[in-house]
């Protein structure tokens, strides 16, 4: 993306993504009459994997320095014509909610019953990468790799909210231009 925000605006975007996703998870838990903690996994091995996700974001950042993301006219037009709060709602909140619900909520669970966990994770990651045709093959491969990790986290943790939050954080970092 061609738009870069100040470090303070970047911090606000990321902070807002965490707060909004946490609020949505809490609201969903209240609506379903369950404890919010039940929406998130407790497997200690998974916590290390989630904690390692910043390393993936660092790899993405380094990758951006060597191979910038190709310009996306649609996203550039949105950023040029929308207010920051509108961009955050669409890119940081709505996209992760919709994409994760479809790919790791519905498709992954359905494919797991049909072809097993490994195949389901791989197929949904490839499908998710194919959705992002605005990028070149290198970035689509990176998206597929992230999709495999998110699928694994979803299968091991059982929480769709966790992968939605990780996806939102990733999009917040991308939007903020860090």
pLDDT digits (tens, 9 = 90+) for 119-164: 999 999 999 999 888 788 888 888 898 899 889 888 877 778 778 8
User: What is the tens place of the pLDDT at every residue in 95-113?
Assistant: 888 888 889 988 898 999 9
Per-residue pLDDT of 18-28, as tens digits, reads 666 667 766 77
Q: What is the mean pLDDT of the chain?
A: 75
Q: Which two tokens stand for residue 48?
A: 């290390």
Residues in the chain: 178
Q: Tell me the DSSP string of 31-64.
A: HHTS-GGGGS---HHHHHHHHHHHHHHHHHHHHH
Q: What pLDDT sits at residue 2? A: 43
Average the pLDDT over 164-171 and give the result.
81
pLDDT higher than threshold 90 for residue 81: no
- Report which of residues 93 and 44 the model is more confident about: 93
Share of the chain above pLDDT 90, in %: 14
């Amino acid at each position: 993306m061609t738009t870069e925000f100040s470090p303070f605006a970047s911090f606000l975007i990321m902070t807002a993504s965490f707060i909004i996703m946490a609020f949505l998870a809490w609201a969903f838990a209240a609506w379903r009459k369950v404890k919010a903690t039940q929406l998130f996994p407790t497997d200690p091995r998974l916590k290390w994997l989630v904690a390692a996700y910043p390393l993936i974001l660092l790899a993405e950042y380094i990758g951006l320095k060597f191979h910038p993301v190709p310009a996306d006219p649609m996203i550039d037009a949105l950023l040029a014509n929308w207010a920051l709060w509108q961009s955050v709602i669409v890119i940081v909140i709505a996209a992760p909610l919709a994409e994760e619900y479809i790919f790791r909520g519905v498709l992954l669970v359905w494919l797991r019953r049909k072809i097993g966990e490994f195949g389901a994770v791989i197929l949904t990651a490839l499908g998710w990468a194919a959705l992002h045709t605005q990028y070149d093959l290198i970035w689509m491969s990176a998206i597929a790799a992230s999709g495999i990790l998110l699928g694994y986290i979803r299968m091991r943790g059982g929480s769709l909210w966790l992968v939605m939050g990780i996806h939102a954080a990733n999009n917040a970092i991308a939007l903020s231009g860090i």
